[in-house]
Amino acid sequence: MKIFPFLAIVILFLSCSEGKRSATNKKNESIITMLVVKPEFQLIIDSCQVEGSVLIYDLNKDVYYSNNFERAKMGHLPASTFKIANSIIALEAGVVKNDSTLLKWDGKKRWMKKWEQDLILRDAFHFSCVPCYQDIARSIGVKRMNAYLTKMKYGSMKVDTSNLDMFWLEGDSRITQFQQIDFLKSFYRSELPISERTEKIMKRMFLADDSDQYKLSEKTGLSNTNGIYNGWYVGYIEFKSATYFFATNIEAPKDFDFNRFVACRKEITMKAIKQMGLIK
């Protein structure tokens, strides 16, 4: 396991615009951050027979862990991980009232059978209902969507009238693993420019597992570009005395077993978290 001190990594971190981040806080004080290379994560990824990288961040210690920091700086379509931001914007803009807002099914056949019903927002989020969130994006509109994305510093999204309901699934929008964690950190720490009400609703929606051992908030994502599957698993896991953020991104050819690929996203991440001794 190799540890790199901060002196050489000021330019390693990506921001939303220039591709670099100043290593200072709001008081213009230097921030000391550590990057820890974890070869064990690569072995876990290899066991799934996919390409990819795991990025885990320890909030208390201000330490990042990954098998491949260079890949973690690469941008990808956010796919359904964008439902986190999309939900926040919808709540802020008043497009939906709360996580119980009913989203009506139009009666048309959909890619997944469980999408073919009326769904409340909370279920649409957990079922990752693409048509539901396409309707939401259209209701938000280009102007408001871009304004909120800029305010929240969410990746590098390319949104216009031609792609308003698809920009997170295809095209030139990109977000890196570092940016995913940055966004989630800001959300978790109440640093996004959103109301307390929206934050409370979204944190309730985001929570997927609340056990005696930990609380897990998660979202998956999947896109297919030029015959290559790209998969995301992002979120954070809270223990009594520590919180860890994660952003895993993997890729495989289109002929790779689909069900295996979608399972690998979370499987890889949870094995990495287990390898760090955080869960049993």
If DSSP codes are grouped into helix, strand and coil, which group holds residue 168?
coil
Assigned domain for 280 exists: no
- Whole-model pTM: value is 0.89
Residue 62: domain span: 2-275
Q: State residue 27's pLDDT score.
A: 53
pLDDT score at 1:
55
- The question of whether 80 is a catalytic residue gets the answer yes
Evaluate whether residue 81 is within a structural domain. Answer: yes
Q: Name the strands in the sheet holding 34-37, side by side, starting at the edge strand that comes first in the sequence.
A: 2-4, 34-37, 63-66, 51-58, 243-253, 228-238, 215-225, 207-210
Give the residue among 85, 224, 62 at the shortest CA–CA distance from 156. 85
Domain count, the chain: 1
- Contact, 193 vs 152, CB < 8 A? yes
pLDDT of residue 13: 38
Q: What is the pLDDT, as a whole number, of residue 7?
A: 34
Q: Is 45 left (phi over 0), alpha (psi -120 to 50) or beta?
A: alpha
- Catalytic residue of the set 17, 22, 53, 80: 80
Distance CA(100)–CA(122), nearest Å, equals 6
pLDDT in tens, 177-235: 999 999 999 999 999 999 999 999 999 999 999 999 999 999 999 999 999 999 999 99
CATH code of residue 59: 3.40.710.10
CA distance 144 to 151: 11
Give 108-118 pLDDT, tens digit per residue. 999 899 999 99
pLDDT at 29: 52
Specify whether the CB–CB gap between 98 and 91 falls below 8 A.
Answer: yes
- Establish if 43 belongs to a structural domain: yes
Contact 179, 14 (CB under 8 A): yes
Can you tell me whether residue 144 is helix, strand or coil? helix
Instruction: Go through 254-276 and write b for each residue having 16 or more CB atoms within 10 A of its CB, e for each that does not.
Output: eeeeeeebeebbbbbbbbbbebb
* Domain membership flag for residue 214: yes
**Which residue stretches of the chain have pLDDT < 50?**
3-24, 28
Amino acid at 249: N
- Residue 202 falls inside a structural domain: yes
Is the residue at 146 inside a domain? Answer: yes
Rounded-to-integer distance, Cα 24 and Cα 3, Å? 21
Tell me, what's the pLDDT at 25? 55
Q: By the 8 A CB rule, do 160 and 142 touch? A: yes
